[in-house]
Amino acid sequence: MAVYSIGFGAAAPMYVLRALELGVSAGPAGVIVALTGLGMVLADLPAGRIVERIGERGAIAVGSAVGMMGVVAAIFAPNIGVLAAGMLLIGASGAVWGLARQSYLVAVVPPGDRGRAMSLLAGASRFGLFCGPFLGAVPVHVMGPDGALWLQLGATGLSAAAMLSIRAIDGEYSASDTQPLHTVVLENRRLLGTWGSAALVVGAARSARLALLPLWAAHVGVSAATTSLIFGVAGAMDVLMSYPAGVWLDRYGRRATGVPAMVLFAVGYAILPLTSSALAVAASAAVLGVANGLSNGLIMTVGADVAPDGRRAEFLGAWRLTHDLGSFVGPTAVGVMSAVAVLGASAVTLSLTSVLGAAAMQRWFPGVPEPPKSARV
């Protein structure tokens, strides 16, 4: 997972710059980046069915092939339409990867250790996101934004080969269930509409950084290579919080972890419009990195807590849909607001939204490691 994330971490801040290279303005560039989130949203429910049918390894093979096609499309895109299609494919690949790794851990890790397990899994991903911008700075300096995309292409192929070497869980998946995909959403609609609203805000706060920080950095005159290094600094904060966040999840509960994380997101976005130098932008990015690190494994752990045994992978696909819908909405809002208002308005809006997310977690997330059975619907 770390290798896969190295590639994505190197490329993520460069997709905005790739869009700018193709002649679009800041607003449409943010929307293009948001298409990664849309690809995840469209693939979440099918990803659950894929994992149920062919297991984690088969799902990873399919997702990796789709992701590599998306990266190739982005590298050679002659226009913004081809780049948009590539972003959709990359997002779909991420949905399959995320669902397969989460489903595996739910099956093999005891409930009392889930917070640490999920946070360490997220930490491996964050470690890759941390290393990615630093490793990507060199090819970006030599080749421009495409250098990081080439790194992502190679990392995706290598990580797929590593995952395919892991032995599948015997008897874990079955093709006998033929119920329509939408039934899992209907059966759990109350939980997805309440707890899921908090997951949506987390997804928006996390993913909006990938669009807003590079746009703001470019706005204040920070170079592409320096922007990559800023993402690396934020990634360091993220990685350092991974294991402590897991311990906090298991010891004090989901609410006690999620609420402070969302408050830090609110602070990080609130101070971004006040920055005007690379150092100040890095400080804002570091606060957002701490917030992201504190929320490591949070949404995966909560989903694991309430996933029904009979249709676990498909439920987790629906649960991830709430988070990934936020991953689409966040950068989309940045792009739309940047097109019709000043760029700083996006940061203020995200700050206020993060406060609402903290309130939703305070209202619905459990205060103890094991959620009450009455929470299941």
Q: What is the mean pLDDT of residues 99-127?
A: 78
For the chain, percent of residues with pLDDT exceeding 70 = 92
pLDDT in tens, 150-203: 999 999 988 888 877 776 655 545 544 545 566 777 877 888 888 889 999 999
Determine the pLDDT at residue 168.
Answer: 62
Looking at residue 299, the DSSP 8-state letter turns out to be H
Nearest residue to 248 via CA among 301, 173, 196, 189 = 301
Determine the pLDDT at residue 182.
Answer: 67
Q: What is the mean pLDDT of residues 268-274?
A: 94
Nearest residue to 232 via CA among 128, 120, 303 = 128
Q: What is the mean pLDDT of residues 96-119?
A: 78
Residue type at 167?
A: R
Determine the pLDDT at residue 376.
Answer: 42
Distance CA 293, CA 287 (A): 10
Distance CA 320, CA 95 (A): 8
pLDDT in tens, 38-75: 888 888 888 888 887 877 778 888 888 999 999 999 99
Phi and psi based region of residue 55 (left: phi greater than 0; alpha: psi -120 to 50; beta: remaining): left
Phi and psi based region of residue 366 (left: phi greater than 0; alpha: psi -120 to 50; beta: remaining): beta
341 has a pLDDT exceeding 80 = no
128 has a pLDDT exceeding 90 = no
Mean pLDDT in the chain? Answer: 83
Between 177 and 245, the higher pLDDT residue: 245
Confidence of residue 90 (pLDDT cuts 50, 70, 90): very high
Confidence of residue 368 (pLDDT cuts 50, 70, 90): low
Give the range among 177-181, 266-270, 294-298, 361-365 with minimum mean pLDDT: 177-181
Determine the pLDDT at residue 34.
Answer: 74
pLDDT in tens, 9-22: 888 878 888 888 88
Could you count the other beta carbons within 10 Å of the beta carbon of residue 124?
A: 18
Between 211 and 148, the higher pLDDT residue: 148
Determine the pLDDT at residue 205.
Answer: 93
Distance CA 147, CA 142 (A): 7
Q: What is the mean pLDDT of residues 301-320?
A: 81
pLDDT in tens, 319-338: 888 888 887 788 778 877 87
- Are the C-beta atoms of 358 and 298 separated by less than 8 Å? no
Between 372 and 272, the higher pLDDT residue: 272
Task: Return the ∠ at Cα 14 (arms to 28 and 93), rounded to 5°.
Answer: 85
pLDDT in tens, 142-163: 888 888 999 999 999 888 888 7
253 has a pLDDT exceeding 60 = yes
- The pTM for the full model equals 0.74
- Are the C-beta atoms of 41 and 321 separated by less than 8 Å? yes
Determine the pLDDT at residue 373.
Answer: 46
Determine the pLDDT at residue 170.
Answer: 52
The number of CA neighbours under 13 Å toward the Cβ of 17 is 26
CATH number listed for the domain at residues 2-166+181-375 = 1.20.1250.20
Decide: residue 295, CB within 10 A, 0-12 exposed, 13-18 middle, 19+ buried. Answer: buried
Determine the pLDDT at residue 211.
Answer: 80
For the chain, percent of residues with pLDDT exceeding 90 = 25
